[in-house]
Amino acid sequence: MGVEALLESLGENVLTTTVSRLIGWGRGNSVWPAQFGLACCAIEMMHAAGPTWDIGRFGSEAMRASPRQADLMIVAGRVSQKMAPVLRQIYDQMPEPKWVISMGACASTGGVFNNYAIVQGVDKLVPVDVYVPGCPPRPDDLVNGIMILQEKIKARGIAPRL
């Protein structure tokens, strides 16, 4: 008997896929954020992790304090000039694969603070995957951003980031 006949005999108990899709599915469904709440957006991020909007449902239950155990850095809040090297160091300490969500207007573009003290967008320091606009974005906006990131992760599979 051939493999096809064997599989048919097993009925609907076998799922075939590619390794890339399988790993992408696994990575996307267990994205562990690193806490990087800097300012007001951090409050909304805390609420997104709370019971009402619960990102634990999407696999982000463990918000790790150590960047070495995290996949995702949610930059929640404004980045000052003094904080910029610290942010870059935390990003460098995260192991691959890693992603960045820029949460809020200040992290995306500098927000309302167009001056000498605030870095005008965290994408000047780290590569950003998803921008979540708002001041602050509602927790459901952040959850939406995480879901968009999950689609992005699943689509990438095991392809290396170049």
Partner 1 sequence: MSFRTPKGAVLDQGISAGDEWITVGRERIREVAAALKEQGFQSYVMMTCVDHLAAPVAHAAAERFELVYQLRNLEKHEEVRIRVFVPEADPVAPSLHDLFKPANWDERETWDLFGISFEGHPELTRILMPEDWVGHPLRRDHPVGGEPVDFSDDHERWQTAPRDA
Torsion 38-93-145-124 (CA) sign: positive
> Cβ of 42: how many Cβ atoms within 10 Å?
18
Q: How far is the CB of 89 from partner 1 (least distance, A)?
A: 14
Q: How far is the CB of 134 from partner 1 (least distance, A)?
A: 18
- Which of residues 86 and 158 has its CB atom nearest to partner 1 in the complex? 86
Tell me the one-letter amino acid at 45: M
User: How many residues would you count in the chain?
Assistant: 162
- Which of residues 49 and 90 has its CB atom nearest to partner 1 in the complex? 90
CB 104 within 8 A of CB 134: yes
Tokens of 146: 């995480």
Q: How far is the CB of 142 from partner 1 (least distance, A)?
A: 25
Q: How far is the CB of 64 from partner 1 (least distance, A)?
A: 28
Q: Which residues here bind partner 1, judged by CB under 8 A? A: 81-82, 110, 113-117, 120
- Which of residues 110 and 139 has its CB atom nearest to partner 1 in the complex? 110
- Which of residues 57 and 82 has its CB atom nearest to partner 1 in the complex? 82
Q: How far is the CB of 36 from partner 1 (least distance, A)?
A: 19
- Which of residues 16 and 114 has its CB atom nearest to partner 1 in the complex? 114
CB 64 within 8 A of CB 34: yes
Residue environment code for 62-95, b if the CB has 16+ CB neighbours within 10 A, otherwise e: ebeeebeebbbbbbbbbbbeebbeebeebbeebe
